Structure 1
Amino acid sequence: MNKQYQIFISSTYVDLKEERKAIIEAILNSKHIPAGMESFSASNDEQFKYIKKIIG
């Protein structure tokens, strides 16, 4: 059975744009799902709690 993982990418956004693009491409090429805060909607939850809820 092949598993597909959702992988959370945590970094600053603007100054690491090219690096984030490269890692997202590598994750997709590995048949997994990249996830970063820019993919999530706004929330009043504490940030790490919200991340865990989404990628849990």
Structure 2
Amino acid sequence: MNTFAVIIKHKTQPGKRDEVRAVWEKHMAPAVAANPGHLAYFYCFDNADPDVICAFQ
């Protein structure tokens, strides 16, 4: 079995990070949880930039 990682850095429109998070929690979180192929999935916020979200799996 081959494993690999995907790292994504999202830059939201200024002040829209909470809105993007709400959409992710509504639509993506359930899909991620239902996918047995995900060994790990992390959705993180950048404390240094209020408009950045990092996701990696």
Query: Please, what TM-score do these two structures have when normalized by structure 1?
Result: 0.33
TM-score (normalised: structure 2): 0.33
Bigger fraction of residues in helix? 1
**Greater strand proportion:** 2
